[in-house]
Structure 1
Amino acid sequence: MQVIGFCRFSYPAEGGFQVEHDRLEDRIAYLYAPERIEERFKHFETICLPGLRAQTDPDFTFVILIGEMMPEVYIERLLALVEDFPQAMIAPRAPGPHRKVCQEVINSARDLDQPCLEFRHDDDDAVAVDFVETLRAAARDVAPLLRKNRLVGLDWNRGWVARPSVDGIHAEQIVNPYWGVAQAVAVKPGVKQSIMNFGHLKLNQFMPTVTFTQPEMYVRGHNDHNDSRQKKHVKPVQLPLVDAETERMFRERFAIDADHVRRVFG
């Protein structure tokens, strides 16, 4: 079964953001502001990519949606980061309606005549190194459900919320269903709707879903430029610096290296 991961990397969509802008030009300026985009690159390099590169099942495609107007210096930097990641596919697009563009980009990487497992992935999140392998196994386990439904959601609710810094990894364990990371949708052949046609918190309103509480399957990145943290009255989250044993777990489970984090953020 085909597996496709989908990531928006500072794509200036119409809609799709909790931070609203009156003009497209304002959104583009916000997305490519040097301080913000620098932080996105650091998280992408240290948190997002390592676990994807290290997947025990490497048979998947990872589509990265970017804006056609992204400055060339950032495009070159992005290409350099995924040079040794053959599953990556950069998809430049002009600004357009969020869900429509995401659906088109995902389907451009699909064989629509075949079933597909699609997972969404933010540029500051991570999945465990066996996520793709586990996703395929889960799809086999619920095969009767997949045969009866156009779409079926698969969600892993246990993981970590983490903030990388010059000191290393600040993190704590969490259980949170439908959080949009380590979440997938099984799509039947011929169905053009994608995982991005649905809000991750509302997935179970549109299709049957199966939630798994073991094992720990994700790291949800936490930083000052999270879209969900730009609203007023959002309280800061204090995360403890992890110890050496937890650093080792992050390396083994998510391929996140605390020494690499310290170098990049230092």
Structure 2
Amino acid sequence: MQIVFETRFSFFGQSGWKSQAAADPGLLFDETRLGKRLRYFEEITLTSLASQTDPDFQHLILSSTLMPEPWKIRLRDLCFDMLGERRVGLLFRPEGSAGHIIRDVVAKTFAGHSVAQVVLDDDDAVSCDFVAALRRYADFVTDDPVNPKPYTFVSFPRGYTLGIEDGKLSWLSQRFVPYTNLGLALVAPADTHRNPFLTSHKKIGQRHPSLMVTPLRPFYLRAVHEHNDSRAHKSDEVLNDAQIAGAFDYFPWLKAHFPKATATVATAKKTATG
């Protein structure tokens, strides 16, 4: 089973909902914006992939031929440094459909294999054991004798919203959304005509064979900040330091961003050992 994460990074083209920046190359490739996007991509998305307990995966990143050359180099170097050249497929393409571009690349690159294609936005993250968990569920649905279709969507509805304020990772709150785009996986032969970016994720349960994975633990982080299109807002249900410390089991790299929660863990261990 090939596991492939698919990310759009400042791609100028047809790829679903468009923010104001995504519809205007001048805004999309503004240096201040690119700097912040690249920082979130490094600190959140790539770090979560580099932390995987199962390192056997590929990461396809789709960007634009319109991106200024120095930023293309920075993006390439960052991806190669953090994941290794072998695991990265960096695509610079002219304006077009993101879903069709990625679908064709997957069909060609992984011909003859079953593939679990995973949506991953450039400021979101998956848990450190996501690849290992997805591999188990993907193998299960591939051999499912009661599903006559040659594909299945796998949904991981439980995760966290990650609030970023003034450029800092500031808070977490629990999130449970069936068929959310976060961690959504399509398990199918590589030459399938389907692709997660070509599918309305809100209608997957009604229109497609699917599996909902619902153990009482998180599988993803959904970042919200001033540069994305999220409608999520901080609420009174944010996690306290002890609860944030509990998230470290799945997102160990968060320790560096939540020192008070990290101190809570250290104090608890010290108390437990006397």
Tell me if TM exceeds 0.5: yes
Residue of structure 2 in register with 1:137 after alignment: 136
Q: Structure 2 counterpart of 1:197, which letter?
A: L
Residue of structure 2 in register with 1:95 after alignment: 95
TM-score relative to the length of structure 2: 0.81
TM-score relative to the length of structure 1: 0.83
Q: State the distance in 2 between where 1:239 and 1:72 align.
A: 44
Does structure 1 residue 12 correspond to structure 2 residue 9? no
Q: State the distance in 2 between where 1:206 and 1:157 align.
A: 18
Matched residue pairs, number?
Answer: 253
Q: State the distance in 1 between where 2:18 and 2:224 align.
A: 16
Match of 1:84 among 52, 68, 82: 82
Asked whether the 8 Å contact 2:2–2:114 carries over to 1, the reply is: yes
Deviation at 1:109, TM superposition (A): 3.2
Deviation at 1:246, TM superposition (A): 4.2
Question: Which residues in structure 2 correspond to 1:37-56 (within 5 Å)?
Answer: 37-56=34-53
Deviation at 1:53, TM superposition (A): 0.8
Deviation at 1:167, TM superposition (A): 5.3
Asked whether the 8 Å contact 1:172–1:239 carries over to 2, the reply is: no
Residue of structure 2 in register with 1:175 after alignment: 176
> Residues 16, 261 of structure 1: CA spacing in aligned structure 2 closer, same or farther, 3 A cutoff?
farther
- Higher relative contact order (Cα pairs below 8 Å, separated by 6+ residues): 1
Asked whether the 8 Å contact 1:117–1:184 carries over to 2, the reply is: yes
Asked whether the 8 Å contact 1:171–1:239 carries over to 2, the reply is: no
Which moved further from structure 2: 189-198 or 140-149?
Answer: 140-149
Q: Structure 1 counterpart of 2:140, which letter?
A: D
Q: State the distance in 1 between where 2:258 and 2:187 align.
A: 34
Asked whether the 8 Å contact 2:46–2:82 carries over to 1, the reply is: no
Question: Rg bigger for which structure?
Answer: 2
Deviations 1:208-264 (A, max 9, x none): 1111112310101111221345xxxxx7444777554445444431233353589xx
> Residues 189, 126 of structure 1: CA spacing in aligned structure 2 closer, same or farther, 3 A cutoff?
closer
Q: State the distance in 2 between where 1:167 and 1:110 align.
A: 38
Deviation at 1:45, TM superposition (A): 1.4
Q: State the distance in 1 between where 2:161 and 2:233 align.
A: 13
Does structure 1 residue 220 correspond to structure 2 residue 226? no
Does structure 1 residue 34 correspond to structure 2 residue 31? yes
> Residues 14, 189 of structure 1: CA spacing in aligned structure 2 closer, same or farther, 3 A cutoff?
closer
Asked whether the 8 Å contact 1:16–1:99 carries over to 2, the reply is: no
Q: State the distance in 1 between where 2:146 and 2:196 align.
A: 15
Deviation at 1:172, TM superposition (A): 0.5
The unaligned stretches of length 5 or more in structure 2 are 260-274
Deviation at 1:99, TM superposition (A): 2.7
The unaligned stretches of length 5 or more in structure 1 are 230-234
Percent of pairs identical after alignment? 25
After superposition, the CA RMSD in angstroms is 2.7
Q: State the distance in 1 between where 2:50 and 2:210 align.
A: 27
Question: Which residues in structure 2 correspond to 1:115-264 (within 5 Å)?
Answer: 115-142=114-141, 143-144=143-144, 148-165=148-165, 168-188=169-189, 190-214=191-215, 215-229=217-231, 236-238=233-235, 243-259=240-256
